Structure 1
Amino acid sequence: MSRSTEPVTTDRSVRYRWWGLLAISLGVALIIMDSTIVSVAIPAIVDDLAISSTEIQWVQEIYTLLFAALLLTWGRLADRVGRRRMMLIGVVIFLVASVLCAIADSGAVLIAGRALQGLGGSMILPTTLALLNANFHGRERGIAFAVWGSTIGGMAAIGPLVGGWLIENASWRWAFGINIPVGVLIIAGLLLFVAESRETRTGAVQRLDLVGALLSIIGFGALVFGLIEGRSYGWWTAQDEAPFDIAGISPVPLAFAVAIAALTAFVLVERARGKAGKGVILDLSLFRIPSFANGNVTALIVSFGEFGLILSLPLWFQNVLGYTAFEAGLALVPLAAGSFLASGAVAGLARRLTPVVVVRIGLVLEIAAIAALALLIRPDSTAWLTSPALFVYGMGVGLATAQLTSVVLADVPVERSGQGSATQSTARQTGSALGIAVLGTAFFTTLKVGTEDRLADAVAANPMLQPLVDSVNASSGGSIAALAADPQTAFIADAARAAMTDGTSLAAWVAAAALVVGLLSSLRIRPSVEAPVTPAERG
């Protein structure tokens, strides 16, 4: 049975492919910006809807859970039904979900809307990569991936800025409402400027791998659940927040056990179906491609270091330096600026260097910038001190993230772009969840222990202070401002600021260490030789 890709091209889609790139990049921006805006909007949502702490947690986490669990399934299905079609469906679902979130009058409705957003987002991300892989070639592909990667880094920084402005000047509901006009532009751009591509088969039509799909959803869903809930529910011993426990053991180890069992069964099922010539969710033969296998490992490690840090910095800006949500967003703009600038530099670098070398340059910039942040930040720092490091960090993200994607997919046959893109997206999402879990644990543990150690003598002399000390950790530092405003408790705020700064610094060092491992892992990637650019590709 032979396989090929059927590109449904038109003169318009070829002539205006760069406009198509804009539409695809806006799709990435939609899902990345939305997740960061929601993080900023949580306090306003709590005030308006009076939702419980459990509901707050699920507003943020149900999106990530469904998003990560469904990436592989939708990526494979996109190969069959059409990548542009799948992305269009995902955008429509995301817009409907955004409307539901914007009009939500209770925590339950908001959680349902966020779940639906996760479903739509899981259709969008892998298909954006597959469409770029199918519609761009040669050096143009590297440039397209650079724009895609810079959009991820830039939107992760711009999201808090946009969210802060909307919350201060309009309503938290606009954090979701802003998705509507953006989504309409994406739909128009996809229909007008992006060519469809799909896998076509000669011979019998293969049945969908429903068992593989179910196992991948259970496996990756349980894995990400364990990573994001470990700090709240307990990594082993059940905490008070845990919904249940088994002989005092947290549900998190159970989730990891389910993940291991399901993913092991997934690999065995996919291997058996592949040998029998049946359809699979993930063609394991892709991992025989050195650039794909080693690139995915590197992508997971790099995502650990890159996106875990985004958790602590906005909290540090707001709770230690006293910035508003909008001001914290402004402080992160240098990161976005560096990321977007890097996308412009890729075209020139691509003429002289291979993509894997550009990845390594980006990682070196990231490591240097994060180490500088870890060394320099203090409780009395300003954005002027952090801006240069964040700018360099953004340039590193723009170079490394985009070109790593190019490396991973360079040797993947176009007819399997959906599978390859979804696998790469799943690796990144898993790495991001792992980074948030590990760096978040380091950050919040240092905040808690550091605050308690600094105030141990004061609490021993006056036990009535203990609830105020506990409030720092319970609010993720949000109570620092109120404590600082009262002269009688200002010393608690000072101790908490110092502890949060130490936590941010530790998280930065851990992120830098992860990126060093990612850099070493990239040495295993053999450069792929792209085909030369033809006159037709130059347009």
Structure 2
Amino acid sequence: MSERSDRRRWLGLLVVSLGVAMIIVDATIVNVAVPSIIKDLGATSSDAQWIQESYTLVFAALLLVAGRTADRAGRRRLFLIGVVVFVLGSIGCAQAPDPPLLIAFRLVQGVGGALILPASLSLLNATFTGRERGIAFAVWGSTIGGTAALGPLLGGWLTTELSWRWAFGINIPLGALIIAGALLLLPESREPRDRRGNDWAGALISMVTLTGIVFGLIEGRNYGWFERTGPVDVAGFSWTARLSPVPVALALAVAGVIAFVVVERRRNAAGRSVLLDLRLFAIPSFRNGNLVAGIVSLGEFGLLFSLPLWLQNVRGYTAFEAGLALLPLAAGSFLASGLAAPLTARRGAVFSVRLGILLELAGVAGLGVVVAPGTPWWAFAPMLLVYGIGVGLATAQITGVVLADVPVAMSGQASGTQSTTRQLGSALGIAVLGTVLFTTLAGHLGAALTDRGIPAGERDAVITAVKDSAGAAIGGLAADPGTAPLADDARQAFSTATRWTAFTATGFLLIGLIASARLGRGRRDPDPPDGRAAEAAAAGGSG
């Protein structure tokens, strides 16, 4: 391989990383911009919730379909299409005059993100081999961890200095740079057309199933797990039945999983094209790696859900200051990209995964210990740094473990499956950790107000205000001398709730560490039938 070709591959890695950074930042950048959006557009609390969650919902629902499409239609092609769709969605978001249109364009962004993520992994899997593949995955994983933490900082700065619309508008020049780089530096590759037709049935079932799962997990706390506990009003659509839409969505998802397995097995047996070749799960590294990735995701990013709320509503930080406080997490994740390659070369990818999970566990548990209403930033900064290093190591190397033995021709659907597993784990983690946060908050605040002798009606009103605003009402309570003592109770209750949320995330990470014992067990199973032939053909036909 010539030096020029080698340089193009590494510059191509930079382009792929920028694409991943763009979609990951957008998943977190909006969190700190929502208050300004509510004020500017007159959004309701339900609108604000869906402005944040519509992106995640469609993103997770399309990952499997996008991964398979990348294999068949071309990995670079789908990556480019994803960037174009994402930029168009960003333009729409930046110009949206009302909440329904903003939600609609967030859905468009989710489509673009779903096309980019599995295509990015598949491109790396097809472009790099051996030790270089491990380095590429380390950069990819650290990009995810680091940019997830940078999102609140960037969003806080843009919202404060310019406008919330620039939280979306920044994607326009960045997208143009990525498109130019991809056209110049990324080679095209696809699997050989060894099977005819498209698996439209599998695609439809998977989208309905994943939508049901993610919707149910995210919205259970808000709408009720069985009976409807609050209004359901999304962009003008209202659900008025007594039964919550959550059990309906989850039941539909369970039926979808069963139908998907049946359809894919039948198509595979008949030699027809499939969305997900279930024979991939015969590969131990793929099967066990996905199990660990899903479990670890339950606790891995839950911190980014609760900590910004605590920083702004309890410690009184501005959006920008909260982003600055989270910088050690980003620094740790980027630092891990430099540590991962030599560590993996000496001790192996599985060791790096376990070390990463252990560091995440230590960092999150440490945060649970130090969080209190008066905790200064320097007391939790070391915990965030340790946590960030762990995220960088575990995220990068678990990806390498999952895809290590997957034939290149199947890398799109394999990377889509891995990304879907992580998204489902994150959705479940947010559902569980959100429930822990707000249930603990209500319980401890209620007990404190009862001890003060606050009448039941006033007590319930304070609890509802603090809980429904995710702590934002604490500032209003503190500003009134008559309710200032109640604000102190709320700060203490929110800190206690954040502490128990961190301990719950620690429990998930501990389970993931135990599950990682299965990684690396036994010898590699043979490739799925025709796997080696497909890989050789793909390698020979890559552009």
TM-score over 0.5 (shorter chain): yes
Contact 1:13 1:194 in 2 (8 A): no
The answer on 1:207 being equivalent to 2:197 is yes
| Residues 287-316 of structure 1: per-residue CA shift (max 9 Å, x gap) | 000000010011001111101221000001
SS in 1 for 2:192: strand
Tell me what 2:222 maps to: 232
Tell me what 1:223 maps to: 213
Contact 2:449 2:459 in 1 (8 A): no
| Residues 93-145 of structure 1: per-residue CA shift (max 9 Å, x gap) | 00011000001111111011101001101000011100011101111111111
Tell me what 1:87 maps to: 79
Give the Cα–Cα distance (whole angstroms) in 2 for the partners of residues 136 and 148 of structure 1.
13
Tell me what 1:117 maps to: 109
370, 390, 397: which one aligns with 1:396: 390
Give the Cα–Cα distance (whole angstroms) in 2 for the partners of residues 240 and 116 of structure 1.
27
The answer on 1:141 being equivalent to 2:133 is yes
What amino acid is the match of 1:468?
V
SS in 2 for 1:408: helix
Give the Cα–Cα distance (whole angstroms) in 2 for the partners of residues 324 and 85 of structure 1.
41
Shift of 1:452: 1.4
Give the Cα–Cα distance (whole angstroms) in 2 for the partners of residues 242 and 104 of structure 1.
22
Give the Cα–Cα distance (whole angstroms) in 2 for the partners of residues 148 and 247 of structure 1.
45
| Residues 453-501 of structure 1: per-residue CA shift (max 9 Å, x gap) | 1102446448445423321011110011121122211111111111111
411, 415, 422: which one aligns with 2:416: 422
The answer on 1:455 being equivalent to 2:445 is no
The answer on 1:19 being equivalent to 2:11 is yes
Tell me what 1:5 maps to: none
- Give the 3 Å change call, closer, same or farther, for CA 196–11 of structure 1 in structure 2: farther
What amino acid is the match of 2:66?
W
Give the Cα–Cα distance (whole angstroms) in 1 for the partners of residues 94 and 314 of structure 2.
31
Shift of 1:346: 1.3
- Give the 3 Å change call, closer, same or farther, for CA 237–201 of structure 1 in structure 2: same
What amino acid is the match of 1:467?
A
- Give the 3 Å change call, closer, same or farther, for CA 371–176 of structure 1 in structure 2: same
Shift of 1:247: 7.2
| Residues 195-243 of structure 1: per-residue CA shift (max 9 Å, x gap) | 11100135xx510000000000000110000011011001122112245
50, 61, 65: which one aligns with 1:58: 50
Structure 2 runs not aligned, ≥5 long: 525-543
Shift of 1:450: 1.4
Tell me what 2:33 maps to: 41
Contact 1:88 1:190 in 2 (8 A): yes
Give the Cα–Cα distance (whole angstroms) in 1 for the partners of residues 94 and 55 of structure 2.
15
What amino acid is the match of 1:230?
G
- Give the 3 Å change call, closer, same or farther, for CA 136–32 of structure 1 in structure 2: same
Give the Cα–Cα distance (whole angstroms) in 2 for the partners of residues 412 and 528 of structure 1.
16
Contact 1:13 1:20 in 2 (8 A): no
Contact 1:309 1:436 in 2 (8 A): no
506, 509, 513: which one aligns with 2:507: 513
438, 441, 449: which one aligns with 1:444: 438
- Give the 3 Å change call, closer, same or farther, for CA 510–462 of structure 1 in structure 2: closer
Give the Cα–Cα distance (whole angstroms) in 1 for the partners of residues 458 and 400 of structure 2.
58
Give the Cα–Cα distance (whole angstroms) in 2 for the partners of residues 246 and 424 of structure 1.
36
**More moved, 301-310 vs 450-459:** 450-459
Tell me what 1:156 maps to: 148
Contact 2:12 2:186 in 1 (8 A): yes
Tell me what 1:382 maps to: 376
**More moved, 458-467 vs 166-175:** 458-467
Give the Cα–Cα distance (whole angstroms) in 2 for the partners of residues 447 and 242 of structure 1.
23
Give the Cα–Cα distance (whole angstroms) in 2 for the partners of residues 208 and 519 of structure 1.
39
Contact 1:459 1:466 in 2 (8 A): no
Structure 2 counterparts to residues 173-212 of structure 1, below 5 A: 173-202=165-194, 205-212=195-202
Instruction: Provide the alpha-carbon RMSD of the alignment.
Output: 1.8
What amino acid is the match of 2:212?
A
Give the Cα–Cα distance (whole angstroms) in 1 for the partners of residues 351 and 521 of structure 2.
8
495, 499, 507: which one aligns with 2:493: 499
Contact 1:355 1:527 in 2 (8 A): no
326, 335, 354: which one aligns with 2:320: 326
What amino acid is the match of 1:220?
L
What amino acid is the match of 1:79?
D
- Give the 3 Å change call, closer, same or farther, for CA 441–487 of structure 1 in structure 2: same
Give the Cα–Cα distance (whole angstroms) in 1 for the partners of residues 151 and 181 of structure 2.
22
Give the Cα–Cα distance (whole angstroms) in 1 for the partners of residues 4 and 85 of structure 2.
27
| Residues 80-101 of structure 1: per-residue CA shift (max 9 Å, x gap) | 1100100100000000110000
Aligned residues: 520
Tell me what 1:299 maps to: 293
Percentage identity across aligned positions? 57
| Residues 4-23 of structure 1: per-residue CA shift (max 9 Å, x gap) | xxxxx998554321111111
What amino acid is the match of 2:60?
A
Shift of 1:249: 2.9
Give the Cα–Cα distance (whole angstroms) in 2 for the partners of residues 129 and 528 of structure 1.
26
Give the Cα–Cα distance (whole angstroms) in 1 for the partners of residues 330 and 523 of structure 2.
30
Tell me what 1:131 maps to: 123
